[in-house]
Structure 1
Amino acid sequence: MPCFILDCDTTHEISRLPVALASVYAYHYIWDTFIITPLVHRMDRAHYLNKGTVDKMREAIWKNVAVGSLFMFGLYTAGRQSWFMNSDEYFTDWPKNVPDVVRWYYMFYFAYWLQSLDFLLNFTNRHYAVKRKDNAEMVLHHLTTLALMITSYAFDFITVGVCVLMLHDVSDLLLETAKLFVYTEKELLSNIFFGSFALSWYILRWGFYPYSFLYSAYGKGYESIVGKMEEGKIYHGGDMAFWYKMWLIFVSFLSILLVLHIYWGILIFQMVIRTLNAGVVQKDIRSDSEGEEEYIIEDKSQAPKSQPIESEGLRSRRKEKLENKI
Structure 2
Amino acid sequence: MIETISEWFWWDRLWLPYNLTWSDLEDKEGRVYARVSHLYITVPLAVAFLVVRYLFERVIATPWAAWLGVKEPARLKVAHNPVLEVYFNSHSKNPRQADIEGLSKKCSLTARQVERWFRRRRNLDRPGVLKKFREASWRFAFYLCASIGGLVALYDKEWFYDTRQMWVGYPKQSMLESQYWYYILEMSFYWSLLFSITCDVKRKDFKEQIIHHLATLILLSFSWCANYIRVGTLVMIVHDTSDVLLESAKCFNYAKWEKTCNSLFVVFAIVFMITRLIIFPFWVIHCTWVYPLDHYPPFFGYYFFNAMLVVLLLLHIFWAYLILRMVKKFLFGNLTKDERSDNEEDEGESSLTEDYDGQPKVTNGSSVGGFANHH
Corresponding residue number in structure 2 for 1:97: 174
Q: Is residue 283 of structure 1 aligned with residue 337 of structure 2?
A: yes
AA aligned opposite 2:283: S
Between the aligned partners of 2:271 and 2:34, the Cα distance in structure 1 is 40
**Aligned counterpart in structure 2 of residue 109 of structure 1, from 186, 197, 207:** 186
Pairing of 1:1-326 with structure 2 (within 5 A): 5-7=25-27, 8=33, 13=38, 16-18=41-43, 20-40=45-65, 42=66, 48-49=70-71, 51=73, 52-95=128-171, 96-120=173-197, 122=198, 126=199, 128=200, 130-224=201-295, 226-227=296-297, 244-278=299-333, 282-285=336-339, 288-290=340-342, 292-293=344-345, 298-299=365-366
Between the aligned partners of 1:291 and 1:180, the Cα distance in structure 2 is 16
- Aligned residues of 1:53 and 1:295 also touching (Cα < 8 A): no
| Cα 1:295/1:71, change in 2 over 3 Å | farther
Between the aligned partners of 1:115 and 1:274, the Cα distance in structure 2 is 34
Between the aligned partners of 1:103 and 1:155, the Cα distance in structure 2 is 14
Between the aligned partners of 1:247 and 1:101, the Cα distance in structure 2 is 25
> TM-score, with normalisation over the residues of structure 2?
0.65
AA aligned opposite 1:49: K
- Aligned residues of 2:35 and 2:225 also touching (Cα < 8 A): no
Number of aligned residues: 271
Q: Secondary structure at the match of 1:270?
A: helix
- Aligned residues of 1:133 and 1:289 also touching (Cα < 8 A): yes
- Aligned residues of 1:49 and 1:185 also touching (Cα < 8 A): no
> TM-score, with normalisation over the residues of structure 1?
0.74
- Any unmatched runs of 5+ in structure 1? 228-242, 301-326
Q: Secondary structure at the match of 1:88?
A: helix
- Any unmatched runs of 5+ in structure 2? 1-9, 16-21, 28-32, 74-127, 346-360, 368-375
Q: Give 1:178 shift.
A: 1.0
Percent sequence identity over matched residues? 27
| Cα 1:11/1:90, change in 2 over 3 Å | closer
- Aligned residues of 1:63 and 1:176 also touching (Cα < 8 A): yes
